[in-house]
Structure 1
Amino acid sequence: MLNSGNLVLYNSNSTIVWQSLLLRAGDELIRSISETNHSMGSFRIKMQTDGNIVMYPVGSLDAPDFAYWASITNFVGKNATLILDGNGRLYMLNISGAEVKNINNGAVPSNGKMYRATIDADGIFRVYSHNLIENGSQSIEWSAPKDRCTPKGICGINGYCDLISQQPVCACPPGFVFINQEQGNLGCNRNFIVESCAFKNDRIEYTIQELQNTIWLESTYAILSSMAKEECNLACLEDCNCEAAQFQGQECKKQKLPLTFGRRTQQEAGNPTTLVKVGMDSGRNGTTNPKEARGKVLQMDILVSGVACLSFALIVLAFSTFLIFRYRLWAYKKILYKANDQGLIDDVSLRAFTYNNELEVATNGFVEKLGRGSFGTVFKGTLSEERTIAVKRLEKVVAEGEVEFRNKMRSIGRTHHRNLVRLLGYCHDGPNRLLVYEYMSNGTLFDYLFKSQLNPNWEERINIVLDIARGIMYLHEECETQIIHLHAKIADFGLAKLLIPDHSRTLTGIRGTRSGYVAPECFGIVLLVIRCCCRSIDVNASENEVVLIDWVYGCFTANDWTNKLSLERMVKIGLWCIEVEPAVRPSMKKVLQMLEGNVDVPISPCARSSLQQNNIDYSS
C-alpha cells in the first residue's frame, strides 16, 4: 500500500502486475450489488483496447446499443491506461506512457485527503475524496454520467426510470406492477393473466394504453409504415404476438416482452409513444389499478401455492404411509419368525429391569416392606418417572435358565383384567428373581378387613367378593379378554410353578379340620373371611371359633344369622366352594352367577350332611 493509497501487486522481478489505481486496456471493474452484499451487481466499466472507457450493464455485449456512457477518447490510441493518482486526478496514458487526457478536469486536492474511484450500485462512476483530518468525511469530487436515469437496466425488466428532482424513480407501464414493492429496481410483472396464442379464448379482452415520452431497447419483430396511431393500436390488438408497440412519426414497431432499458425522456414533439396491450380487468376507463391488480396476482399466487403444497403434502403422506406399512409388515414378519423359532410371541408390554441399577435404586435398598407371603417379600419403590411400584422378591424358586423364566413372565404378562394386579416387568439378574407390579395404594384385603380404622360395611364386602369372583372366572375361562381397570385385584396368580414343590403345598391339621387357602376352594375361604370379617384361623379366639370353617358350619346348622337372607346366601355359596370333592365344587362362572343372584343357591352336600346330623329339616 503506497502513501498515495494505491494498492500495488509486484511479481518476483519487482514488476507491477496489478494496482488498484490503474485500469489497463481490456480490464474492467464490476460493481457489487450493494455495500453489504458483494455478489455481482448490475453494472461494469471497461477500459477498451480502442482507447475508450465505456460503461455497460453486466451480461451485455460490448456494443453501442448497450453502452450508456463513454469517455470518447479513442484518439488516445490502442493499449491506453486509466490512472487515478494521489491528488485525485483521473487521467489516461497512451502506449508510450505520456499523459494525453484528463478525465475529471484536474481535481485540485487539499492536504489530508485520499481519493478512490468506483462504479456504484446505481451505475454511476464516481471519484470520492476522504478527509483524514476530519474523521474520514467523504465527498464526491466527480461523477459520470450526470443523468442518474442513464444507466441501462437500473429499473429491471419492464420497468422504466423517471428522473424526479434529479433523483431516479422506478415505475411500471400500464398493466404492470412491481415484482417487489420494496425494491423497484427488480422490475415489473403483468397484473393480469395472458391467454396463449395457441389457446385463444374469445372471452379474454384487451385494450391499448399509452405511455408518453418513454424509450426502450428495441425488441421489434415487425415494422409497419405510413400508419396513424389509431391504426397502430388496432394492428397490435389484432396480433396475438404483439405485446407492445413503439409509435413515432408514422412508423409502428410491434414488440414482444420483456421491455428493457426503459427511461422517460423530456417532453418534446416527435418523441416516441409506447402502446401497451393490457387485459380489460387490469384497470378501469383506460387506467391501471395497481392495488387491485396486485391483489389478483396475490390471490392467484396463493391459490397456485396452496394447490402445490396440498399436492406435495398428499404425496408425502402417501409415501410415509407406504413406508410405515412396509416397516410394520417387516416387523410383524420378524416377530412371527422369532415366535416360530422360539415357540412363543414376545409380550412387548413387559419390561426387563436390572437389579443394581434400577430395582435396588427404586426401592432405596429394599427398605420399605409392604408385606410377605408364601412366594416372597414385597417392597415399595418408585421409578424414575415418579411411578410407584410394588417389587416382589421371589424366594426359593426353582433354578432355571433365563429363557424359561422370561417365558413364564410373558405368560403371566399376557394376562390382563381389571381385577388382577398388573405385572409391569421382571428381573432375572444372576440369582435374583424379582417381579415388578403396579402399586395398590389401598393395601391388601387383610389390611382392609383387620387393620383399617373403618370397618367395611356389608355392601362394600359384597362388592369385594364380586370383584374377586370375576377375576378368578377370568383366569379360569376368559384369559383372551384383556381389560385394565382399578378395583379389588388378585395378586400372585401363576407363580406356583416357580416355587420348589415342597413350598407350594398348603398346611392342614388343626384338629383335622381344613384351615388354609387351598385352590380352588380358596375363594370359598376368602368369601367367608370377607363376610364374617374373621381370620380363617384365629388362635386368640374362643375354642369353637378358632377355625372359621368350623364356626360357620356351626352357625349355619344353628341358623344363627343376624341378616338371614343375604348372609345365608353368601355362606351357602362359600360352603359350596369349600366342598372336599373337587368335582362337586361349582365353576367360578357358576359362583359368579350365584353371587349376582342370577341362579338359586341350593344347600351343598357337606352342609346337608351337617343338618342331617343335627336332625334339621333342609328341604327349604
Structure 2
Amino acid sequence: MARLLFFIFLSAVITTEAQQGESVVNLGSFLTPTTNSSWLSRSGLYAFGFYQQANGYAIGVFLAGIPEKTVVWTANRDKAPALASVTLNFTSDGRLIMQSAQAEETAIASPPERAASASMLDSGNFVLYNSDKKIIWQSFESPTNTLLQGQRLTAGKELFSSVSESDQSIGIFRLKMQTDGNLVQYPVQTTDTAEYSYWSSFTDGKGSNVSLCLDDDGHLYLLNSTGTILKNLTQGGYPTKDVVYFMRIDADGIFRLYSHNLDKNGNFSVISRSTDDKCAPKGLCGLNGFCIMNDQDANCLCLPGFASVNPGNWTSGCVRNFTAESCNSKDESTKYIMQAVPSTVWEDNSFSSLTLLTKEDCEAACLKDCNCEAATYRDRVCQKQRLPLRFGRRELSDVNIAFIKVAGSTSTINKIEPLGRERYSRKDIMILGISLGAFGLIMSVISAIAIYKNRVRAYRRLSNSGNVDLSMDVSLRSFTYSDLEKMTNGFKEELGRGSFGTVYKGTIWNGQKIVAVKRLEKLLTEGEREFQMEMKVIGRTHHKNLVRLLGYCHDGENRLLVYEYMSNGSLADILFKPEEKLCWDERIEIARNIAKGILYLHEECESQIIHCDIKPQNILMDEYRCPKISDFGLAKLLKPDQTNTFTGIRGTKGYVAPEWHRNQPVTVKADVYSFGIVLLELICCRKSVDWSFPEEEAILEEWAYSCFEARELDKLVSGKDVDKRQLERIFKVGLWCILDEPSLRPSMKKVLLMLEGTVDVPIPPSPTSFLSTV
C-alpha cells in the first residue's frame, strides 16, 4: 500500500513538473501567418500554427522549420487555404478559433468545455487543458493522415491520405482500424468489405479494442485491450537518439513508416511500407483509367476513346474524347466498334452476365446492346458493364479482357496513351528505339563477357579449394557418385521413398550442413526423363515455398539430386499423425504458403509449370514449419503461348483432377484441384479418403460439401482455436477448387486472394461428381 501511495505521489510530481516545463499557451494568445506564426513545443521540435498551402495558409502541427515535408496534423483539412490577413485566436473565454478580417470565425478545436490553457507537446500532440489541468481535447485523438510516436489509432478510427504532399485536403485512400481487430486499407467512399480492400493485416477476429501503435524505437504494431501484441508491422529496435519516427498514409494510398534524423536536416528514410506494388491501391488512376507498372513506378493509362481529365492529376480519371449518342433501338454496330484492353481487372458492376464460348461472342453481344458500354470476358463468362469503369489495373498474368465501345469513325481511339505524357512522332520513336537497341546490345555483350569471366574464375577457385558453399552461388553443384556415397555414409540413413526413387540423409561442408540426396531407381529411360525434368524445373525456380535444388550427379548410369534438408519431414508426417498437432493459425498460414508456391509455378516462372502431383507427401516442412513444394518429376512445362497439354494420367490417386481420366487437355487447373483436396485435408486434419470413418464420412470432399450445405462445419474440425468465420471461407475456397469442370475452378491467384480475405468467396455450386477422384 505504501509503495502504491508513493508511486501515485511520484507520478503527480512528474506530471506537475512536466506541465510547468511545457510551452504553455495562455488565454488571449494569437498567431498570424506572417509574424509570430506558430507555438513551439518546449524543445522546439514540433510547432502548432500556420503553414503555407497553395496560395494561402492552413493550420496544423509540423516539425518546426520544415513544414513542407512534415505536416502531421491539419485542422479543417477540406477548407480552402486562408488569406494572410487571418488570425488564430485563443480567446479569453477559452475558444480556439481562426478569425478572418471580416470577423468570420472557424473553430479549430471543439472540446466539451471551455479551455483554460493549451500546449504544444514534444510528442507532437497539441492539447487543450481545463482549469484543473486535465486534457479536454488533443490532436492525437483526431488524427488526419499521420501517426506519431506514442500515438494510437484506436478501434473505429481512420487515417485519410492527402491529395498530395503539398495539399493536405482529404485524398482518395483510407486506413481503418476496424472494430473486428483488422487493420485495412480501402479507397474512400467504399464500404468496409473485402471486395474493396487492397491491403489487410489479417487480424480480424483475433482481439477486441485493437489499436495501431507506434513506439519511440520505430516499433509499429497492433495491440489488443489485454496488452497482447497481435501483429508486428515492424520489429522496432531502431535508434532513438536524435531520430523521429512517424507513419503516414501517403497520397498514393500506401502507408509508410518514416524516420527523420534530426542531425541531418532533410534526411527522411522509409523503414517500411504496406506494399511494394504501387498499383495495388484501388482507384489510383481514377474513373476509366487503369494502372500499369513501369519498372518500379506506377503509370496510368486511359481506356480507348478516353482522354485524361487533368494530365497533372491521375486520380481525376479519364473522359470520352468523342460524343456518345443516347441509347436507342438502332443497330449499335453501325455506329461503334469494340476496342480490347487485355490483361486488365476492374470492379465488377455488371448489369448482365452471359455464358459465351468465345471472347468474340462477348464483343459482339455488347456491340449490339445499346445499354452496354463495356464488357469483360473471362473463362467463358461475359459481363456487360456501364461506364464508368473503376479500380482498373493491368495484370499481365490475368486472362481477363475488357472490351470498350468507342466511335467507329474515330481513327485514333485505339491508341492508349499514358496520362500526362506527350505523343512522340514516329521518327523520334525510331531514333530512340535504334539508340536504345544499340546501347542495350553493347551492354549485353559487356555483361555476358564479365559474367563468363567471373564464372570461370569462380569455377577455378572451386576446383582448387573444393568449397561447395561457393559453388552453389555460382550454379548447381556437380557431384560424383563417390562424393555422394561419402556424404550419405554409403546411403545409410533413408529419409523416405518416392515414385521414382529413395531419399537419403547426407552432409556437406565437412558435416556442417545436412542435405537430402535423392537417388533415382527406376528403369533408365523413365528415371532419365524424371531426372532431366527435375533439373530443368527446379534449377530455374527460386521461391521460399519451393524446395531448393543444390546439386546433382550425372555419373554413368547414376542419377542423383541433392536438395536442402527439411528437418520436419513432409506435411503428411505432421498432418496425419495424432501426436502432431497444428493449431488453427498454423494450418491457415501453411495453406497460404502452399498457394504462394503453386502461384509462382503457374504465373511467375519463365515457363509456366504444372506440378501434376500436389499432395501432402510432396510438401516438405522446414525447421520453422514453413511448407515447401517438392518432387517435380511429373511436372509439365508449357510454352509461353501454350495454356494446356495432352498427356497420360499422372499424379497420385485421390488428388488427380477428373480431366486426367477423360483424356481432356490438362491445364494449371489440375493443380488447383489437387490443392483443393490438400486444403480440405489440412483444415480437417485427416486424409481425403479414409475408410476407417463411417461410409458417409469416408470420402472427405463428399462429406465436406454435405456438412457445408447443412451448415454443420463444426463436425469437420476440432479445436477451440478455430475461427468460425475463417472456417466457412476456407471451406468455400476448397469446394470451388475441387469442382468437376476445370473452367469453373479459380486461378491460384484468385485462390490466394480468397484465402487472405482480400476478395469475397461466393457460395460454391454443388459438385456434379466425386467418383473420378476415388
TM-score tier (shorter): 0.3 to 0.5
Greater Cα radius of gyration, structure 1 or 2: 1
TM-score with structure 2 setting the length: 0.35
TM-score with structure 1 setting the length: 0.44
